[in-house]
Structure 1
Amino acid sequence: MNKLDFKLLLILVILFLFGCSSSNDEITESKKPLELSQNEIKSTGNQQSNNRQPSELINFNPEDYDRKCMIDTVGPQKTFEIYQSNKIQENQISEISQCLMSDSDKKSDQSQINNSDKKSDQSETDNNDKNFNDAEKCEGKDLDEAGLPLTPKCNVIPTPLLPGIKKANLLNIKLPNPNYQTPINKCQIFKDKKCAELKWERTSDVMAGEFTTIEISRSNPNIIYAGTDSNDMTMYQSKDGGNTWKLVHVTGHNAGLAISPVDPNIVLYTNLEAAVQRTMDGGETWKGVVGAMITGTKNNQPFTAIAFSTDMPDIVYTSALRGDTRGGIWPAEPSDIFKSIDSGKTWKQVGICETCSSIQTIVVKEGDSNFIWVSADGGLQFSKDGGNSWSGNVIPYLDEKAKDPQNIREHKPPKVIGVDLQPGNPKTILAASSEYGMFRSTDGGLTWKQSNSGLTTSKLHRVKFAISNPNVAYVTTHNGVFKSDDSGKSWTEHNQGLKLKFVSSIAIHPTDENIVYVGTLNEIYTIHPEHKNRGLLSDGGLYKTINGGKNWTRSDKGVYEAKIAQIGTHPLIPFNIWVGGESGRGNFFSPDGGSSWLFSASITAHYPMVYAFNYDFPSVLYTTGWLRTGELTASTDGGASFYTLTHKLDEGLSTETRKLGLRLDGPTDFHIHGVAVAPSDSNIIYVGSVHDTVYPNLTFNLDGAHIWKSSDGGKTFPEMSNGFPIETKTSINAIFVHPKDPNIAYVMTSLHETETAIGIYKTTDGAQTWFPVNNGLDVFTNDLQMDPLNPEILYAATESGIYKSTDGGNNWKKSSSGIPKGPVIDMAIDPLNPLVLYSITADNIYRTQDGADHWYATSFGIPLLESSSKPLSAQERLLGRLRLDRTKTGHSEYGGTFAQDRTLEIDATGRVIVVAVKTKRNDRNRNAERVLYHAVLTPLISTTYQYKINNSNIDITSQSNIYDMVFDTNNNELKFIAAGPTSTKSKTTLIIPSNLMTGEYQVFINGAKIPSFSENNQVTFEHIHAGNNQVVIKTN
């Protein structure tokens, strides 16, 4: 082969590789089979787990079969997969033959549905509009106007199992039946004269790993700053080279960061929702210097990139978008250019880049502070006159790609995210594009060539040259970090120890090119909204290398989510906890009571409200939040992916609502809060809205408070508010459904993000009519709990204390003995012993063990803030006795240790209680945090599980959360995860069918053999939880 032939072959191979890597915008992190970071109930994909060929898939009509029978026969997971795809393997038909319904059964079933919704004003949509869980590209009609998925078709594709690995399907999970234990009227355990029945401890740190920027001080490299785009944490600082970090400022979503090249005390960072912030004292104090807060304009411009001139350190440039856009806008919108000549103290707009849209990076040319380069949605551009005029995109290839019909349809810009100039030789430039790899110029930007040799992805993020060795450059990508030793001509992968490869921000030590810091970023919403690292992922954070990327280690001690807003627990699965943060970029999930956390990137978790779970299909959950079109979302894969249902609420609005003019003009932008799934029928879902009066500048398009009900599992949501005063400016905060009768439900109103509360409303006819049940009740309610043994018993937390009803809400009596007079913010009820409840006031946490007859404080281990002399309720503040304080997210502020509803929850076994704890009284204090504490009661409660592998059922009784079970036919091993709170003891017994494994069993926990007892086909072992424990059972 001659040289020309070899070059042509090499080009073809490279084009093929990049063509494949560019075919899918959604990036999933590869996981080992036993390290699937997804909810234990969900399907792990369509992979073949055995060597047999599956029988042919045939159409399945769900209306012909009884769903409850299906669940009992093949399990909830398999039933859900069949119902989602409307396909079934031909050889499975005989297995479910007993579930086939007669014509009379169908008519009866349909009659119930019709009767329950007969007063709805909206007809149901065509039931043939199926939700397929196909592994196809998510685009076009699969997305709404905001780019959010509309169906499970957009779900992340799970990692296939390896050959010979068979996935076990969960058939059943059962907790012990609840029962009333002997009532106790006071605390039984004391320590230091305090009730110590509950020993509260911090959970493990919750962290999204959403790092937008990292900068190292040139004049003092021990000083490092890292900015985040998650949960309003904003800015962290390290003074010891990244060994430890502290939160130094909180405003909102950080985008850019710059440290003075000569003074480490002068730092500036940009913000998407506030003015550019500046410190002159090393982060002790901060001040807004340019932006809406300074100019007094109504709407703040999102400021993005910022950079100092390295040889004229008084000169700084920054950029801002128009309106409230966040990037990813195409055709291009203008970006305003600002300049400071006094190290960021004062600013002046110097120009407009008409075709830039969102600017990601600014680089000031060495030796010429008027020459600046920017990477932007509009490509790579430069200005020679200090930002006054602009070149337009200088990489023609990107302009040509932007003209592709598909890119035009999808409004994809010729985006460049990173740019850097070689130190000492500014004619050599590297530009990292978002879709098409690296571009390199050696003539100052006149000509460009792709420079992708060694890269395994074309989706690039940031690129940096090393100051200490200008031939060295690093680039962050979807697939990790790549290093060049020849100024960007070729690249090598350097990812050893980098547990999460979706990285973006990067900083190189100014005097040692081998010391590098990178930050993960699962959803680059501020700069790269079309790309997400989806799934339930772990190991996000800051990483450091000291040997040029040969090895990476975590370097983020002290970094954690500082603004926990909402908590939810799964009603069936032990130790499952969901958490959302203010202004978050995703949901946090713990399978072990808070000992470890996974993160699911999704902007649907922006200001989360409520988590609700499906009782038939435990991998299905619903959330309400506060982001346009994402106010009601659902997940069918255990929280790995979410899709929006908000448009269905709009479609289901009643004629009365529209006639009254409550549906305002504009896109679907509702404020949704309460959501609940009927425990006895998961097809039935109730949803409630909020009339938001806290944020007059926001454009919510639905006034009043409304109730929707779905009777078809979320396919339609007709409004069913008859009897409820929908014009009231209130919040439907909580919804509870009777555990056995889905026609009985309660909606509770509150002052949350609104101006009044009207107590509790009830339906007994499936939402056809609603009526108030407030006799004797303080109508300023905050939470509602229902006794699972006797649903006629209800507990309500109100602004004046706790009330109890024993007749389904018809009558209420005060039941707050032991709790100081004042508001009770939230409650939680033990699902297995309903005489036990927990409640929080502004200043303490309380427990009752006799059905609310007696309460006592039990906060041992929680750093309570100093008690306020007279806690004032939100009601008193609203009535004008004191101005009603609100945080920037609109939650009521009581001025104590505890903040609001949905911040106190209990797990399915009643053994893990979780609460969000404030560190400052005033939530508007920039240093105020909300962190998680949990209390674990022992001994743990046993749960029974039944898994199925082919035709073999495995029965398990365990005090652990058992999930991710597989059978390895290659090594004849049964593998699963046994999770629980760290340091707690668990006992597990498995009955393994002999056709699966025979012989004397051996048990290994995290690779180490432990004592076990085997008899016949049964094995029992005990172990101490270390969060997630990998269990392997094999035979001699």
Structure 2
Amino acid sequence: MRATVRMSLLQVKQIILCLTLIIFVFFPYPSVSASVQLQDFNWQSRPMQSGDIAQIAVSQTNPDIMYLGVEVNMHSMYKSEDGGHSWRRIHLGDHAKDVAVHPTDPDTVLYSDSQSVWLTTNGGREEGHVSIGPFRRMDPFEKVLDGGYSAGPSSTSFSSIAIASSDPNVVYTSIRGEKGRGDGPQDVWGEEGRRGPSREREMKGQLFRSTDGGTSFTEILGSFPVFLVLLIDPFDENRIFAGSSDGVYLSVDGGSTFSLVAKSKGIATIDTVDGQTILAGGEEGILHSEDRGLTWIRITDGLPSHTVLRVRWVQNSPDVVWATTLDGVARSADGGKSWIDVSGSPDAGGLPARNLKALAVHPTNPDIALVATETFVFSVRSTHLFSQGQYYGQGIYRTEDGGMTWLRSDGGLIEDNLMDITAHPTRPFEVWASQQASRGMYRSTDAGQTWSLSPHLLTHYPMRVEFFPDDPDGVVMTGSHNGENFGITGDSGVNWAILSERTFFDSLGHGRAFFDESRSQGSNLHLHGLAIHPSNPEVIFVGSVDDRSAFSEKALEGSHIFKSTDRGGTWVEFDEGYDHSSPTSINDIKIDPSNTNTMYIGTSSRESVTANGIWKSEDGGEFWHRADTGMENDASVSGILIHPTNGNLLLTGTSNGIYRSVDGAASWELVHEEWISDMEYDPTQANVVYSGGPKGVFVSTNFGESWKNISNNLPVGGDPYPDWSGYGQKPNGEVNAVAVNSDGKVVYVDVSGFGLFVAVDPSVDDIPRDNTTGVHYGGRKIVVVPEFDAVVALVFALSLIIVLVMSRRAEFRIARTELKIH
């Protein structure tokens, strides 16, 4: 009997052992939750929209046709054929500054950007191919004037363009110039448009004239004031008004000479219908003249703010005038003599944001107007008005009832080619996203239903974003804009402490031989890869890019790894053994959470010349060696994933596909033969991995051994080189970026040409919509340009303290209402 019992126990043990072996052999990973198994991945569009519109121009003969210029080079020029309800991109140049439509021909349009003036005579229709870099582009615009300066500073940008109503063959355009010290975030440039330390200087404005409808221009030589805006008398093309930093100027000889006719600060807008009554707006209210500009009176009563950015008469109702200001929109029914604030209340159909600039009015219906929000980062006429902060409710808005109610009117004008999407590690519905060469860093707290904007030069060319593990409001960011390459915020993007390239130049060690000090003045350093130590957030790593683009001087060649042990205050180059000679990009840096001495970097040809494989460190980043056996050395790495509980398991997405390692990168095996742009795992179950590329979105439930396409209703898999006016041309449906939220129930992807999409697990209840409005303004921007390491540590530490103090003391100019979407 005892033997039988022993046999039964032995059999039980044998059965248990067999079952255990079966489980480990056939099911080596934890089971996948029902959220992944059952989710139908119904992708919903979450458009990221904002303002920063230089100008909205309406055809006076066909008001359904409108054009607008955006002040960033990823957007440039758009057209609407339905009165401004929806928009279509028709050109990419540089930062748009002004737009003018022919008075009788809606197909003839001129617009200026920071470097050039462009002309189309076919309404922006795509006719003929023009090759631009690696892309094919159908370009409906012809460059008709080159200012001769590099892209960037407002002082050397084209500021205004005007077509004479009395003779449309006559066109004037101006380069702004500068009086005294640079007046904004862009104006820290040296000679010939190169960036350098800001200093006292003066540069006269420049004026150009065309007599053939803008096909060619001749410069008018003379000693001119700063040109912010031009207005041509509607009945005399030789009579020109110019708004300047110190007032209104008048020329009666076709721009040969100008005289000051009214003193006032920062005149950024002038308008008239009959040439007799003229309005000019600036930083001290509105100037009103009834004698063709000979005498003026100042008007401020009724205006939401004394800083007036645009005034527009209604062509067929000359008593009605609209004006945008720094704090709302106003309307006059008596020719500009008195004003009423028509911004309204956000909870009663009014504007959700009051930081306005661009303005357009219907020529025949005095109740229809469009306005656009403005952050002033790239505003050529008013860049000094920039203030850092978190900007809510940004975009273009339309009223059809004289300002009683306002609705969004910017369909199609979205961020559609994102560089990065990063989900917050603890807040389930917070996500940050960014697009290169655009309006800033976007933040959503409701899974992309609404977005706020953190504008900066740093966030204009954003790269990577990482959250501090010990501070839910702490964020680190790398970038590639001159003077602003690295930033830290302690209040979720309201205030930033920023470091320039000089900090990293001064910290060079092993790679100093690749640095040319003689080229450092006005030089730039492109930082991309970024990692924060998971258990010691004082430690931060960044990686640089050998960026050969022509936007600025590059004093440092090769790519380099930098380390900070005091939360970004001071830095040292930390890359012994790494190959600096390869012109590559350090695209990704990862630290093994189960063994933080183990680190990896992935290199890429993106933004650089070539890829240089994967490198590994086993001593916390001090020494590096190659770790890419089994993959092509020139495979561009988009991202590296380390299994959080088993450091030997890794995945890397590359231009050749997805590689998998089971031995800590000693060897790699190709497991998915599709170009991969981005990868991310579910924080709650690391074996669930999402990846994206030209063929769509894929999911793996066994840490990369097998993959399933879950693109479903996403617009993916299009022609990689279609015909479209833009970088990459027509929307090509490539998935650029992927992110997974903190509980694994929300997945975000960006589809090139179409923008951001989200898939929400069906088990998630309705996500409360964030109805915050207005602007949470920050303090003065802090940019550290150090001389010595000790100074770096002290100044950066003080700046971080200031950022934290501001985050606690800044008062919200907002109205928050929590609603649920049903």
- Does TM, normalized by the shorter one, top 0.5? yes
Letter in 2 for 1:933: F
Q: Where does residue 634 of structure 1 map in the other structure?
A: 488
Contact kept? 1:675, 1:688, Cα under 8 Å: yes
Whole-angstrom distance in 1 between the partners of 2:150 and 2:377: 27
Q: Where does residue 274 of structure 2 map in the other structure?
A: 424
Q: Where does residue 625 of structure 1 map in the other structure?
A: 479
Whole-angstrom distance in 1 between the partners of 2:770 and 2:353: 22
1:786 paired with 2:635, answer no
Q: How does 1:884-899 map to 2 (within 5 A)?
A: 897-898=733-734
Q: Where does residue 339 of structure 1 map in the other structure?
A: 209
Please point out which of 39, 55, 66 is paired with 1:213. 55
Q: Where does residue 685 of structure 1 map in the other structure?
A: 540
1:804-842 Cα offsets, whole Å, 9 max, x none, are 223332x122141xx34x533322112211111122333
1:1004-1030 Cα offsets, whole Å, 9 max, x none, are x9889xxxxxxxxxxxxxxxx629xxx
Whole-angstrom distance in 2 between the partners of 1:544 and 1:960: 27
Contact kept? 2:603, 2:614, Cα under 8 Å: yes
Letter in 2 for 1:334: K
**Unaligned ranges ≥5, structure 1:** 1-178, 190-196, 399-413, 872-886, 919-928, 941-957, 966-1004, 1009-1024, 1028-1036
C-alpha distance 482-330 of structure 1, shift in aligned 2 (>3 A): farther
What secondary structure does 2:458 align onto?
Answer: helix
CA positional deviation for 1:846 = 2.1
1:887-946 Cα offsets, whole Å, 9 max, x none, are 998x9x99963265xx1222222222222213xxxxxxxxxx251222223434xxxxxx
Please point out which of 933, 936, 940 is paired with 2:757. 933
Whole-angstrom distance in 2 between the partners of 1:224 and 1:962: 32
Q: Where does residue 1030 of structure 1 map in the other structure?
A: none
Contact kept? 1:308, 1:315, Cα under 8 Å: yes
C-alpha distance 551-538 of structure 1, shift in aligned 2 (>3 A): same
Q: How does 1:626-665 map to 2 (within 5 A)?
A: 626-646=480-500, 649-650=503-504, 652-663=506-517, 664-665=519-520
What secondary structure does 1:768 align onto?
Answer: coil
Q: Where does residue 233 of structure 2 map in the other structure?
A: 365
The worse-fitting range, judged by mean Cα deviation, of 627-636 and 522-531 is: 522-531
Q: Where does residue 1026 of structure 1 map in the other structure?
A: 821
Whole-angstrom distance in 1 between the partners of 2:770 and 2:338: 44
Letter in 1 for 2:231: V
1:372-405 Cα offsets, whole Å, 9 max, x none, are 11223464323222223333x4434x4xxxxxxx
Letter in 2 for 1:258: A
Q: Where does residue 751 of structure 2 map in the other structure?
A: 917
Q: Where does residue 562 of structure 2 map in the other structure?
A: 708
1:691-743 Cα offsets, whole Å, 9 max, x none, are 112x1453123222111111111111222222222333111111112325544
Q: Where does residue 477 of structure 1 map in the other structure?
A: 325
1:844 paired with 2:696, answer yes
Letter in 1 for 2:217: K
Letter in 2 for 1:798: T
Whole-angstrom distance in 2 between the partners of 1:311 and 1:746: 67
C-alpha distance 338-278 of structure 1, shift in aligned 2 (>3 A): farther
CA positional deviation for 1:570 = 2.0
What secondary structure does 2:686 align onto?
Answer: coil
CA positional deviation for 1:763 = 2.6
Q: Where does residue 8 of structure 2 map in the other structure?
A: none
Q: Where does residue 438 of structure 1 map in the other structure?
A: 286
Letter in 2 for 1:898: E
Letter in 2 for 1:512: N
Letter in 2 for 1:367: F
Contact kept? 1:612, 1:676, Cα under 8 Å: yes
Please point out which of 87, 100, 103 is paired with 1:245. 87
CA positional deviation for 1:555 = 2.8
What secondary structure does 2:336 align onto?
Answer: coil
Whole-angstrom distance in 1 between the partners of 2:693 and 2:91: 28
C-alpha distance 867-232 of structure 1, shift in aligned 2 (>3 A): closer
Contact kept? 2:170, 2:237, Cα under 8 Å: yes
C-alpha distance 960-595 of structure 1, shift in aligned 2 (>3 A): closer
Contact kept? 2:76, 2:96, Cα under 8 Å: yes
Q: Where does residue 132 of structure 2 map in the other structure?
A: none
Letter in 1 for 2:680: A
Q: Where does residue 679 of structure 2 map in the other structure?
A: 827
CA positional deviation for 1:747 = 1.9
The worse-fitting range, judged by mean Cα deviation, of 700-709 and 314-323 is: 314-323
Contact kept? 1:575, 1:909, Cα under 8 Å: no
What count of residue pairs does the alignment treat as equivalent? 708
- TM-score of the two chains, using structure 2 as the length reference: 0.79
Q: How does 1:267-286 map to 2 (within 5 A)?
A: 267-281=109-123, 283=125, 286=140
Whole-angstrom distance in 2 between the partners of 1:534 and 1:684: 27
CA positional deviation for 1:616 = 0.1
CA positional deviation for 1:672 = 0.7
Q: Where does residue 395 of structure 1 map in the other structure?
A: 262
1:242-266 Cα offsets, whole Å, 9 max, x none, are 3333333333322111111111222
Letter in 2 for 1:451: I
Whole-angstrom distance in 2 between the partners of 1:665 and 1:561: 33
1:162-217 Cα offsets, whole Å, 9 max, x none, are xxxxxxxxxxxxxxxxx953269xx978xxxxxxx552424222101222211221
What secondary structure does 1:291 align onto?
Answer: strand
What secondary structure does 1:649 align onto?
Answer: helix
CA positional deviation for 1:647 = 5.0
C-alpha distance 279-272 of structure 1, shift in aligned 2 (>3 A): farther
Contact kept? 2:206, 2:224, Cα under 8 Å: no
Contact kept? 1:624, 1:675, Cα under 8 Å: yes
Contact kept? 2:594, 2:645, Cα under 8 Å: no
1:454-503 Cα offsets, whole Å, 9 max, x none, are 33422221122332333432221111012333433333222111221111
Contact kept? 1:574, 1:960, Cα under 8 Å: no
Whole-angstrom distance in 2 between the partners of 1:674 and 1:585: 21
Q: Where does residue 265 of structure 1 map in the other structure?
A: 107
1:596 paired with 2:450, answer yes
What secondary structure does 1:530 align onto?
Answer: helix
Whole-angstrom distance in 2 between the partners of 1:618 and 1:470: 54
What secondary structure does 2:398 align onto?
Answer: strand
Contact kept? 1:565, 1:607, Cα under 8 Å: no
Contact kept? 2:57, 2:66, Cα under 8 Å: yes
Q: How does 1:333-732 map to 2 (within 5 A)?
A: 333-344=203-214, 346-352=215-221, 354-357=223-226, 359-377=227-245, 379-391=247-259, 393-396=260-263, 398=264, 414-421=265-272, 423-426=273-276, 428-433=277-282, 435-496=283-344, 497-527=350-380, 528-532=382-386, 534-646=388-500, 649-650=503-504, 652-663=506-517, 664-667=519-522, 669-693=524-548, 695-696=549-550, 698-732=552-586
Letter in 2 for 1:368: D
Whole-angstrom distance in 2 between the partners of 1:446 and 1:666: 47
C-alpha distance 930-553 of structure 1, shift in aligned 2 (>3 A): closer
Q: How does 1:68-79 map to 2 (within 5 A)?
A: none
C-alpha distance 754-337 of structure 1, shift in aligned 2 (>3 A): same
Contact kept? 2:115, 2:149, Cα under 8 Å: no
What secondary structure does 1:631 align onto?
Answer: strand
Contact kept? 2:145, 2:216, Cα under 8 Å: no
1:857 paired with 2:705, answer no
Whole-angstrom distance in 2 between the partners of 1:373 and 1:867: 49
1:807 paired with 2:663, answer yes
Whole-angstrom distance in 1 between the partners of 2:287 and 2:150: 40
Contact kept? 2:523, 2:552, Cα under 8 Å: no
Whole-angstrom distance in 2 between the partners of 1:606 and 1:702: 22
C-alpha distance 723-394 of structure 1, shift in aligned 2 (>3 A): farther
Whole-angstrom distance in 2 between the partners of 1:791 and 1:477: 56
What secondary structure does 2:242 align onto?
Answer: strand
- TM-score of the two chains, using structure 1 as the length reference: 0.63
1:533-590 Cα offsets, whole Å, 9 max, x none, are 6433332222223343343333333332233332222222213221112311211112
Contact kept? 1:231, 1:585, Cα under 8 Å: no
Whole-angstrom distance in 1 between the partners of 2:363 and 2:693: 51
Please point out which of 650, 653, 670 is paired with 1:797. 653
